[in-house]
A and B are shown apart, each in its own frame.
Chain A
């Protein structure tokens, strides 16, 4: 693990080692939300995760990102076990390795486009620097957002998701996690955003894991996993 993000994304091999996650139901009885076969993604791979609402698509992304701990199994990055790191270690690994795109964008409405894109840099550095500013501006242009000084609160939903994708790409992550990136958009915007996401991931050479129930988007992934089929038992 490098101490600081290198300018080029490091190639990374993600291994999900027989991951399983337990939840508790309304009566506080535990049940297994999903169980996955062992899965290894080489650098630049694309994985589409499908399944109905509540089947654990978001939870799988949270597991990979180290926001949740698996009930069973391990997450490995280039052979080192990420899922067993302490919280601070997982925070740091996440900052250096992962870019996150959410269904509801989650921009900071009070900041402008450029500041939203460069927000991840603030977690580790005091000053953004000329290179960082240039990168934020370049990403905004790449995403078709000509005026980086516009406040995020004034953007349309499609524009907001494009800012969110640029924000996820800012730190040159080796792994991009997208949670229903098109579900909050109308069809026209959804297609454009999906194009941008797939193209940007390909350009940067990053691995992309995308949770979606949009068949059109899912069809564009070479590897797919359907979480409904991985559940072995629902009730205790």
Chain B
């Protein structure tokens, strides 16, 4: 037997109702798929952005706030730790690398982050895609998404806590807080990291200190304090002299404070020892993963609520679609009775009814997976635009399985109208 000509005729008889049913099921599926995939992508993307931040040390306060500021560059007014701690860390044999991270200034909405050249190169993990890393004060290396060109001069403005700047745009707030007389020259561009750091302007930490009149943390401090470094920098001429040496150690008499220090420990055991040690005595130390796990916990709870809500939503839609199809099968009693009178076995009519419904529900589930993937992509694009966090959402087994399960359950329930037709006496159907 070949039920498909009748199945197609039945679907065509539904006219616009058929695509509407498919769309309803698809939207229900898409919601669930998007919630699941988006949450996972957000988790992966944010964990990926914290990759090079093994251990973070800062002044006591909120770990979350420090994490958001240092890793995700959502700046906040943070208490500072003594800059001399950097020197202690460099000497510590458990420490492979350490770098200060100082933020607060902006230019055209891009955060200006003071750090060491080593951390700008992510401990040697990445090479600039263009130019080189900064090697002297007054030089800057920019993230992949920063809209400055090589050799441009960047004038920093003092950031205002709580003022959310739009990347790429200078606004009145920024214009009003410009550090006049200071500037950086772009000497390099970093490859894409997929994190908010793609929108950052990285400069030597010494320059950030100097711009704020804190010296440069080196022994040459006194000698240099009167000559604006940026004139040398913007001229871009000649190799940096000995007195312009940047980077650790900071042997100056006075080393300015920093909001955050990133430490790359040599071993796991060392990492835990360091964390324990710097949890007391006026500092706070933590692994980003600790904070992320609790954030993910909250995120997961929200996800669970949304998933349950969307599952209920899906079940309701499926139930109403099945009721609708049951009613349609009832209206078609006569049509199916005629098939029987023409010699169709009961199984043929049952198959026609069942396959028609399965086609609608399954198609809806498949389109729903596609729509869900599209929605996830769109939301990820929004997240990337707002935070710089690169999300690579993927529809995984966890999303496909519920959709398939729903198609299966729908197919099982579609047996009901099919089975009712099986019991229907032909003569009653022929009378209408």
Contact = CB atoms under 8 A, between A and B. Distances in A.
Nearest to B348: A123
A interface, size bucket: 20 to 34
A123 B430 contact: no
A87 interface: yes
Contact of B5 (A91, A119, A124, A171): A119
Given A106-B335, A124-B1, A167 B342 contact: yes
A122 B4 CA distance: 9
A123 B345 contact: yes
Which of B8, B13, B342 has the most CB atoms of chain A within a 10 A radius of its CB? B342
B12 interface: yes
Contact of B1 (A110, A115, A123, A171): A123
A65 B345 CA distance: 14
Given A108-B6, A125-B1, A92 B345 contact: yes
Interface stretch (A93-101, A188-196, A220-228): A93-101
A57 to B, nearest CB: 13
Interface in B408-432: 426-427, 430
B341 interface: yes
Interface in A105-124: 106, 108-111, 115, 119-120, 122-124
Nearest to B343: A95
Contacts of A32: none
A213 interface: no
B345 to A, nearest CB: 5
B345 A91 contact: yes
Given A62-B430, A106-B335, A115-B5, A87 B344 contact: no
B338 interface: yes
A218 B426 CA distance: 27
Contact of B6 (A122, A124, A171): A122
Interface in A39-92: 58-59, 62, 65, 67-68, 87-88, 91-92
A34 interface: no
A100 B1 CA distance: 19
Contacts of A29: none
A171 B338 contact: no
B128 interface: no
A94 B343 contact: yes
Residue with the greatest number of chain B CB neighbours at <10 A, chosen from A59, A68, A110, A115:
A110
A126 B344 contact: no
A119 B2 contact: no
A120 B9 contact: no
28 contacts: A65-B341, A67-B427, A68-B427, A88-B345, A91-B343, A92-B345, A94-B341, A95-B343, A95-B344, A96-B343, A98-B343, A100-B342, A102-B338, A106-B334, A108-B9, A108-B335, A110-B10, A110-B12, A111-B9, A119-B5, A119-B6, A122-B3, A123-B343, A123-B344, A123-B345, A123-B348, A126-B2, A127-B2
Given A108-B6, A123-B339, A124-B1, 8 more contacts: A62-B430, A67-B426, A91-B344, A122-B5, A122-B348, A123-B1, A123-B348, A127-B2
